[in-house]
Chain A
Amino acid sequence: MASNITAAPDHRPTFQEAAGELVSKVRAGSSASRLWLMIAAALALVGLVGVIGRIIDGYSDRSAWGYYAAMVSFLLSTAAAAPMVSIAPTLARASWVRPVTRVSQLFASVGVVTALMHIPLMFALPPLVEEGVRRRSIWFGAGAYTPHVWGTIAIFGLTFLGLALLWASSIPDLRAIAESGEGRRQRWAARLAMGFIGTDTQWKALRMRIGVLGSFYFLFLIFTHLVFSADFAMALVAGWKDAIFPMYHAMTGLQSGLASTIIAAYFIRRYGHLERYIELDQFWAMSKLLFATSLLWFYFFFSAFIVFWYGRSGPDQATNDLLVSGPFRWAFFATFLMSFVIPLFTLMFNPVRHSIRGPVIVSFIILGGMLLDRIRIYVAAWSTTGINDRYLREIPATRWPDIFDLMVILGTFGAAALAFILATRLIPAVSLWEIQYSRLLTRPARFIRGHALIIGKPD
């Protein structure tokens, strides 16, 4: 049968073209990226002022920290989840993902912002034992500050693992940058490349390191979502017992991580002029996953909702009142529309999925939905009282953001963008070695009279 297959002309960039183009982008940067960098830095500064204001405002009123907690959770559910876009398909040996693996891994740099933002929040979390009374938690009889310790270990550990994964997968590209000339950036790149020259052993070690770090990152991500969602949301609300909630938190994070990657890939492609590397195929594949995760958003939400709605016990009703039909119902309905209804009724059409702008617009909408979702959960949870009661006896009123909250929200976006753009100044936003590897393993071909692509699947 193989005789039906013949070689077809290959119009993809050659090894040399790709190396020259991608490395030079890092060296030169672009005027657009400089402008975005300045805007991001300004916003981050505004956020810093907001954080300082929040700290000066004090910790006596726990409800004041709701929006802040929501933003930390937002980063965990977007930037921290984004590297999964590269990890899962790579483990499944999908070839489409290679041009966007780096884009998703670059989000690990935002972990630094998440970790820094976590520090003041840790002080706002009440201890497990107050005035001799132990509150409900997943830590049961452990020490009073166990959630603080494990929350910190989880977030810092995840940040470390993310950066390690970014570094490990960038080593061959760092070598290429180091060899591209003289200068401070090249010296840094040479140091980080750790003597990589591309021997067979080094390549094997590199692939194994990426596989192991990716697997650990996934496990740690789930652990972090479990710990954070349990300690910083559920345990603060009397009677809220929701075993699916950590999974909802993690799964919706994957949806938004995917959306973040799509948006970043779009900007990098457009302003970095990388159309020959990040193509329609990548957006098409990611938009299919985005569609699937949007369906899962509803599934995970409804799995909890129907149990509470049907059960109708005191704690059941209070939980639904607080999170769905209560003070944040506006946020819930907006989330429902933005995270599920709109993605469902747009991405179900192939022309939308099979486009570049379609998935990008839907991704922006999904990120808006995620922001509102985290606000409805965290602000509501942090606003409640009677933490030791059997169930929530009083549903708190809607809490609107104050000026510090608004500054923190803006600053979170700014700081995240700043970390991401700075990372692209050192590491190519499209993985040079993955592009080259992909070129080795895929070949355009003719199948009798038709067009085809041969994809190598090494053992």
Chain B
Amino acid sequence: MQQHRELSEQQINVQLLNGTLATPRWWKWAVLGLLIIVLAGFSTFGFMINKGLGVTGLNRPVFWGTLITTFVFWVGISHAGIMISAILRLTQAEWRRPVTRAAELLTVFSLITALSFPVIHAGRPWRIIYWILPYDFSRGIWPNVRSPLVWDPAAIGTYLTGSILFLYVALLPDLGNLRDRTVGWRNRLYSLLSLGWRGNSRQWRMQTTAGILLSALMLPIFVSVHSIVSWDFAVTPSVEGWHSTIFAPYFVIGAVHSGVSAVVTMMALMRWLWKWDNFIRPEHFDALARLLIVVGTAWFAFTLIELLYSFYTLEAQELAFRDMQIFQWPWAFLFIVFLITGFFIPVPAWLFKRVRNSIPWMFWTSISVNIGMWLERFLIIVPALSRKQPFVYTWGSYHPSLTEMMMIVWSLAFVGMNMLLFARFFPLIPLFEQKEAQAFSSRIQIGRASVPAVLREQEQE
């Protein structure tokens, strides 16, 4: 499995800082292109504030559309970071090393993007402050902590803060390294950010302990975030198809499916753009694909159980809703695309080693998963709302407007642009993790076979 050649620490520095200490030619054009889309998105947002939510396709009874779908989608993607970084760190999976930082970064930017969507969706974004902060001491009006709409910012705020801190702590040694390789204002910036890192035993020990401790703390937060997002829907008894106890783990496993797939997409891009063939290797794609087979299959099982129990009561409204969601145009078409792209194309494909080890195949199948996962959220939210409900007394339909579609495109460009900007100033692959991987890798001889091995510290008796 070890398909890489051993490099000196100096070579690792040179290769992994190729996009940080120098500007690749394509970088400016990519950032410029994305910046144009991002600015167009901000303009669209300004237009929405100016004209009101009437420019969206939202109307009675469908008050949640693609903006909320995209919010849930990006919260899902944000599960990449901790899944890869924390779980794989705790289980000491060696192949995590080149992926952790990019995955954590994806978490941070996708959470920031996710958080923007309820703000955009609110129409009058400043009013959100009334809902979540205990600000109005004079009039005695306080947030309603019984509302899931207050739980959401609490959970996502915690996850975002934790993820940023986690990212920063694990960046310290590399900031020290960057300080050593730069001059001028960049040197001053890295000196400040690295806090005077020298790489002594105490600091390294703290790094190791912090990795484990923060992983253990972030994991329960990671699970809670999408669970709480799912309860936005599940605690509502009046909307058919939402009031289900399985929603919390179902959303979490779905988020992991889409998040890890997004990491695969990103890894392929990193390998192609920065030419990190020696660090991001087919074996890493292979390991991620194996993980995704398990996660994808578990997610599919949850989908089936969710459907099974929606039919279980044989209540007429629930059956009518499912009939509409699965068999009636246009939902039926979207439902088929969702299943095919979310499960039936990627998961069976990953069963073949040739696909798992092929970077173009992994790239496209991982994108397929996220098309399916976006549609899954759309199919949970919109068809259910378009039916007559006890509190809306009307039927309706929904067509996303151009402004809403623009915001979806904006979100993709926003995350991409931020990733590229980050990569220009900080290494996307942790340098010290690569060095540690080399220091800890070994081989053992069994008869005539040489078996790859890893080194684990042992306490002295």
Q: Do A and B come from one complex?
A: yes
Report A's interface with B, CB cutoff 8 A. 1-2, 4-5, 92, 136-138, 140, 222, 226, 239, 241-247, 295, 299-300, 303-304, 306-308, 310-313, 316, 440-441, 443-445, 447, 450-459
Query: Is the Cβ of A447 less than 8 Å from the Cβ of B455?
Result: yes
Query: Is the Cβ of A245 less than 8 Å from the Cβ of B458?
Result: no
Question: Out of B223, B231, B312, B442, which one reaches A306, CB within 8 Å?
Answer: B231
In the complex, A459 Cα to B454 Cα: how many Å? 13
Contacts of B234 in A (CB 8 A): 307
A-B contact pairs, 30 of them (CB 8 A): A2-B441, A137-B312, A138-B309, A140-B314, A243-B310, A244-B248, A244-B249, A299-B227, A303-B227, A307-B235, A307-B245, A310-B235, A313-B237, A316-B237, A440-B446, A441-B444, A441-B453, A447-B455, A450-B457, A450-B460, A451-B458, A451-B459, A452-B457, A452-B458, A454-B442, A454-B454, A456-B446, A457-B453, A457-B454, A459-B1
Query: Is the Cβ of B456 less than 8 Å from the Cβ of A453?
Result: yes
Is B443 an interface residue, CB under 8 A from the partner?
yes
In the complex, A295 Cα to B217 Cα: how many Å? 12
In the complex, A242 Cα to B245 Cα: how many Å? 6
Report B's interface with A, CB cutoff 8 A. 1, 6, 91, 94, 220, 223, 227, 231, 234-237, 243-249, 301-302, 305-306, 308-314, 438-439, 441-444, 446, 451-460
Q: Which of B444, B446, B459 has its CB near the most chain A CB atoms (within 10 A)?
A: B444
CB distance from A297 to the nearest CB of B (A): 13
CB distance from A292 to the nearest CB of B (A): 8
In the complex, A306 Cα to B313 Cα: how many Å? 20
From DSSP, what is the main secondary structure of chain B's interface residues? Answer: mixed
Question: Out of A243, A244, A453, which one reaches B455, CB within 8 Å?
Answer: A453
Report, nearest first, the 4 A-B pairs whose CB atoms are least far apart: A243-B309, A243-B246, A310-B235, A303-B248
Query: Is the Cβ of A455 less than 8 Å from the Cβ of B453?
Result: yes
In the complex, A451 Cα to B305 Cα: how many Å? 49
Q: Which of A239, A308, A311 has its CB near the most chain B CB atoms (within 10 A)?
A: A311
CB distance from B348 to the nearest CB of A (A): 16
In the complex, A441 Cα to B458 Cα: how many Å? 16
CB distance from B292 to the nearest CB of A (A): 15
Kindly list 5 other residue pairs between chains A and B, CB separation below 8 angstroms, not including A1-B441, A450-B460, A459-B452: A138-B309, A241-B312, A246-B305, A303-B249, A450-B457
Query: Is the Cβ of A299 less than 8 Å from the Cβ of B223?
Result: yes
Contacts of A458 in B (CB 8 A): 451-452
CB distance from B278 to the nearest CB of A (A): 16
CB distance from B144 to the nearest CB of A (A): 13
- Specify the chain B residue showing the minimal Cβ separation from A242: B245
In the complex, A441 Cα to B444 Cα: how many Å? 8
Query: Is the Cβ of B311 less than 8 Å from the Cβ of A451?
Result: no
| With contact pairs A1-B439, A140-B311, A458-B451 given, residues A453 and B458 touching in the complex (Cβ less than 8 Å) | yes
Query: Is the Cβ of A1 less than 8 Å from the Cβ of B6?
Result: yes
Query: Is the Cβ of B458 less than 8 Å from the Cβ of A304?
Result: no
Query: Is the Cβ of A306 less than 8 Å from the Cβ of B235?
Result: yes
In the complex, A241 Cα to B306 Cα: how many Å? 11
In the complex, A454 Cα to B443 Cα: how many Å? 8
In the complex, A453 Cα to B456 Cα: how many Å? 5
